[in-house]
Structure 1
Amino acid sequence: MASSGRDAGARPFDDGAFDAAALIDRIRLGAFQIRVLILCFLAAVVEGFDQQLPAVAGPPMLRALGEPIDRIGPLYSAGLLGFVLGGLLLGPLGDRIGRKWLLVGSLLAFGAGTLVIPWLGSFDSILLARLLSGFAFGGASISFVAMPAEYAPLHLRGRVVALIWAGIPVGGTIGSLSGNAFIEAYGWQSLFWIGGGFPFLLGLILALWLPESVGYLIVRGRDPARIARILKKIAPAAPVGADTRFFGHAVSARRVPIGMLFAGGRGRGTYLIWTALFLAYLIINLMVAWTPALLLQSGTTMGVAALGLAAFNACGLIGIFVYSLLVDRSAAAGLVALGFLIGALTVVLYAILPVSTAVSFAAIALIGISIGGAGTALIAVAASFYPTAIRSTGVGWSLAFARIGSICGPLLGSLFFLLDMNLRMILLTIAVPALLTAGAMLLFGRAARRLAANGAPADPSTATRSPSPGKPGEE
């Protein structure tokens, strides 16, 4: 059973170094850690709200600009392309400057970039602004995944990451349900004011209230007094102080080469998790961007189509809750594969059954629960696959492949409509990547079990650990 905050939960090693990770792994989730989780959850809500902007604000904005409706696909994908580039280029900064300041800077820059969009007068300039603001936010998702993983006890780590990622469909649900009301009252510009103002304010709040990752501080050899103060807030009885030497992994203080993601037997697992994330988020973002259009093709009204998008997001939340209870089990990869298999079978049934509003909503709900939940669990699996020393880089590259899939999904939807494919052919095509994702996760589970059986060290560079020497005076 996990120890309480009064039980330090970790002991010094023979050389006097204190294992902070063991302390965090063994105690209960306390108020200080919950504060970190809530702040990171709100950052995830920002991303979810932003993902709905092209689908909700796009049609009236395009009408105002005199642009055709098929421009929604590029509008949606421009922000996601920025996310990919930002994740790849800014992600490693989280392992150098810290998770906190990468997250804060990303939120401030993203908020500012989104706030200017209502004042831009052309589609091309808006497309560029979406690309640049997406680039700025690319580093945020890495930090709001990595930080909760490093503050959560081991037995809750996957569950916590899955719940943090639930902020994305929460933001999506808020955007899809409230968007039309704001547009009718204040115009399409209002959604960008909200979508930019909230993250900017949140960035300022995080600068004041969000602590840096303890694991990062130890790995980088930061001031032991600063580390001890944070640990005392987590476990007041922890025997740590300004003169404590902390247990950390040996790692370069300058950068984390991508090759470390493949060291120690992790190569096969890394390739498979990247493949699964690409395919999973291709499906999810195809559904987010084009669910209203698919429902309109089946004969529903625009109001019902908007409710369909909200239903997909809301049922995704249900799936995330279910998977958050299961993702910390040893068979997490198999459970993710099962979710995508159920999703694929649902899509096939949707394609062959007679089309009706009831059938459409039932299928969308089940796809949201199975694929939406399993897609979030994939992020948790990726975060747990890499150790602290390379987690920000590992998560950054994993999310980059998810973002690439997210870009391809809406563009694939545009291709479906350009080719004038009927609803049945579109659905049968969507089932293919769902089946491939299930297969990739089954192979990943086998690779992860083989890695564990071979006793590969947690740290990809060495099997030894070194105490943090500390840098006096650094705060």
Structure 2
Amino acid sequence: MLDELPLSRYQAAALLMIAATVILDGLDNQMLGLAAPALLKEWGIAKSALGNVFALGFVGMGVGTLLSGWIGDRYGRRWALLIGVFVFGVATLASGHAASVAQIAMFKTVAGIGLGGVPGTAAAMIAEFTPKRWRSLAVTFGVVCVSLGGLLGGGIATLILPALGWRALFYCGGGATLGFVLLMLAALPESPRYLAELPDRRAELEAMLRRIGHPAPDFDPRAVRTQPAPTKVPMATLFSADLIRDTLALSAAMLSGMFLIYLMFNWAPTMLASAGFELGSASLGLTAFNLGGTVGAIAAAAVVLRCGSRAPLIVMALVGAGLCAFLATLPIADAHNLEPLLIGLCGLGLFGSAAQSAMFSVGTHAFPTAVRARGMGVMGAAGRVGALLSALIGAALIGAGSLGFFGALCFLMLVNAAGFVAVRNHVPPAPRDARVPALV
């Protein structure tokens, strides 16, 4: 029914609210990395100890990703998103009160439980609010908000850290997040596709369809149901003959892609500082990566919308591997070659990071409604494994220099490309005569 209508302002407002949760996810997720230089200096702790804190956060993310998928399919996408944002908001705010590494680790783990489920749940919810012709663009826009959150966090950190210290950074991020939770409670609607599976919430769905602009919102939900009720479809469906190839291929692509992203988020400034760059230049490297990722993901969404996802994602991953090879062989010791380094990092974001954002639209297309949230959860859990590995071995890769750091990423981008090759149910190209409808 939604595919027959233009994208309404009501849907657009809901999509922007959902996307804002991903911005907050990206902001809070990178907050410890932004605060790390000041925290390390104040407490005099080793980088390896901070790596263990990052690792515990990723463990929490893995748990949160799977838990959020279960909540989303059982109790609704809205509650899964609300709970996730509330949990990481509280934990981020509490981190500002931490007095030891153990407390930081505890709060980071709890924050990870909330952070882990937000991108996948948001992607599923965006897909279910959006007409098919807008879906890939909308999902990728939602996911790219992680990079927007990182850019926002970098700007905030530049202003707050020198004047107020690292604790104020956590207070600011956590307070803004909890304030947004109140807005979500008042204004965020449930997914219409989820409501269509629940006859006892028919009145809620009909009211939503009226606001969207459907000319005949009174209908029998059983007449349009194309999937079994979500609570009756087992998790094993994801590993059935029809879905196992896509489940495993997308999981492998997500694992390698999240290793790339989180190694950059958490360790790239430290690696650049170890090469002799000043703190400002080291931070600028991560900003260049985030900027490239934001622009690239938006461009990739437009290309996927027109050309489908198979060829663009494969090409992007292969170009990302080539850029990693370039960075691995670029002499940067003693702070040399800053300009080509920044160009390479921006390019890596433009192709390598952006491919991971666009991958979420493939997942929302590949998995049917009844298991979509859990399918995205499995992908997300694989991604958290990659992120966890990046935390555990990041310090060792820094010790191997830029050759070891970017050489490992080159290999993983090749794994990423192989995963995209193996996926069977890619987003198809748009029909040649398809037109993007006007917003009404």
Query: 1:141 offset after TM fit, Å?
Result: 2.7
The alignment yields a C-alpha RMSD, in angstroms, of: 2.0
**Match status 1:321 vs 2:298:** yes
Question: Is the CA contact (8 Å cut-off) linking 1:297 and 1:423 kept in structure 2?
Answer: no
Choose 244-253 or 424-433, whichever is displaced more. Answer: 244-253
Match of 1:342 among 319, 323, 326: 319
Relative distance call for 1:361 and 1:250 in structure 2 (3 A) is closer
Give the aligned partner of residue 129 of structure 1. Answer: 107
Query: 1:358 offset after TM fit, Å?
Result: 1.3
Query: 1:393 offset after TM fit, Å?
Result: 1.0
Match of 2:155 among 174, 177, 185: 177
Under a length normalisation based on structure 1, what TM-score does the superposition of the two structures give?
Answer: 0.85
Query: 1:264 offset after TM fit, Å?
Result: 5.7
Choose 64-73 or 48-57, whichever is displaced more. Answer: 64-73
**Match status 1:379 vs 2:360:** yes
Query: 1:255 offset after TM fit, Å?
Result: 5.4
Question: Take 1:436 and 1:244, find their aligned partners in 2: how far apart are those partners?
Answer: 42
Query: 1:396 offset after TM fit, Å?
Result: 1.2
Question: Take 1:442 and 1:243, find their aligned partners in 2: how far apart are those partners?
Answer: 40
Query: 1:329 offset after TM fit, Å?
Result: 4.5
**Match status 1:403 vs 2:384:** yes
Identity over the aligned pairs, expressed in percent? 27
**Match status 1:147 vs 2:128:** no
Query: 1:403 offset after TM fit, Å?
Result: 1.6
Encode CA deviations 1:265-316: one digit per residue, 9 max, x unaligned: 1111111010000001101111121221232233321111111111111111
Matched to 2:382, the amino acid is F
Give the aligned partner of residue 347 of structure 2. Answer: 366
Relative distance call for 1:255 and 1:175 in structure 2 (3 A) is farther
Query: 1:41 offset after TM fit, Å?
Result: 0.9
Matched to 1:432, the amino acid is F
Matches within 5 A, 1:203-282: 203-236=181-214, 238-241=215-218, 247-252=224-229, 254=231, 256-263=233-240, 265-282=242-259
Tell which structure's C-alpha radius of gyration is larger.
1
Matched to 1:141, the amino acid is P
Relative distance call for 1:193 and 1:69 in structure 2 (3 A) is same
**Secondary structure of residue in 1 paired with 2:231:** coil
Under a length normalisation based on structure 2, what TM-score does the superposition of the two structures give?
Answer: 0.91
Query: 1:51 offset after TM fit, Å?
Result: 2.3
Question: Take 2:35 and 2:16, find their aligned partners in 1: how far apart are those partners?
Answer: 28
Equivalent pairs, count: 424
Match of 2:410 among 428, 431, 455: 431
Question: Take 2:138 and 2:47, find their aligned partners in 1: how far apart are those partners?
Answer: 39
Question: Take 2:420 and 2:82, find their aligned partners in 1: how far apart are those partners?
Answer: 33
Question: Is the CA contact (8 Å cut-off) linking 1:182 and 1:190 kept in structure 2?
Answer: yes
Query: 1:138 offset after TM fit, Å?
Result: 2.9
Question: Take 1:195 and 1:161, find their aligned partners in 2: how far apart are those partners?
Answer: 24
Matches within 5 A, 1:158-197: 158-197=136-175
Query: 1:431 offset after TM fit, Å?
Result: 0.6
**Secondary structure of residue in 2 paired with 1:119:** coil
Encode CA deviations 1:201-225: one digit per residue, 9 max, x unaligned: 1111111111111111111333322
Relative distance call for 1:192 and 1:311 in structure 2 (3 A) is same
Match of 1:351 among 304, 325, 328: 328
Question: Take 1:432 and 1:152, find their aligned partners in 2: how far apart are those partners?
Answer: 36
Question: Take 1:50 and 1:244, find their aligned partners in 2: how far apart are those partners?
Answer: 39
Query: 1:241 offset after TM fit, Å?
Result: 2.8
Question: Take 1:251 and 1:243, find their aligned partners in 2: how far apart are those partners?
Answer: 15
Relative distance call for 1:62 and 1:262 in structure 2 (3 A) is same
Matched to 2:27, the amino acid is F
Choose 360-369 or 287-296, whichever is displaced more. Answer: 287-296
**Secondary structure of residue in 1 paired with 2:425:** helix
Match of 1:291 among 265, 268, 278: 268
Question: Take 1:136 and 1:320, find their aligned partners in 2: how far apart are those partners?
Answer: 24
Question: Is the CA contact (8 Å cut-off) linking 1:225 and 1:242 kept in structure 2?
Answer: no
Question: Take 2:331 and 2:202, find their aligned partners in 1: how far apart are those partners?
Answer: 66
Give the aligned partner of residue 11 of structure 1. Answer: none
Question: Take 1:327 and 1:72, find their aligned partners in 2: how far apart are those partners?
Answer: 38
Question: Take 1:256 and 1:348, find their aligned partners in 2: how far apart are those partners?
Answer: 44
**Match status 1:104 vs 2:82:** yes
Question: Is the CA contact (8 Å cut-off) linking 2:68 and 2:121 kept in structure 1?
Answer: no
Question: Take 1:397 and 1:48, find their aligned partners in 2: how far apart are those partners?
Answer: 20
**Secondary structure of residue in 2 paired with 1:212:** coil
Question: Take 2:198 and 2:380, find their aligned partners in 1: how far apart are those partners?
Answer: 24
**Secondary structure of residue in 2 paired with 1:114:** helix
Matched to 1:421, the amino acid is A
Unmatched 5+ residue regions in structure 2? 429-440
Unmatched 5+ residue regions in structure 1? 1-22, 453-475
Query: 1:263 offset after TM fit, Å?
Result: 3.1
Question: Take 1:138 and 1:428, find their aligned partners in 2: how far apart are those partners?
Answer: 27
Query: 1:243 offset after TM fit, Å?
Result: 7.1
Matched to 2:368, the amino acid is P
**Match status 1:312 vs 2:289:** yes
Give the aligned partner of residue 200 of structure 1. Answer: 178
Question: Take 1:405 and 1:335, find their aligned partners in 2: how far apart are those partners?
Answer: 23
Question: Take 1:396 and 1:246, find their aligned partners in 2: how far apart are those partners?
Answer: 29
Matched to 2:347, the amino acid is L
**Secondary structure of residue in 1 paired with 2:199:** coil
Encode CA deviations 1:126-151: one digit per residue, 9 max, x unaligned: 10111012113333333211111001
Question: Take 1:63 and 1:357, find their aligned partners in 2: how far apart are those partners?
Answer: 25
Question: Is the CA contact (8 Å cut-off) linking 1:83 and 1:135 kept in structure 2?
Answer: yes
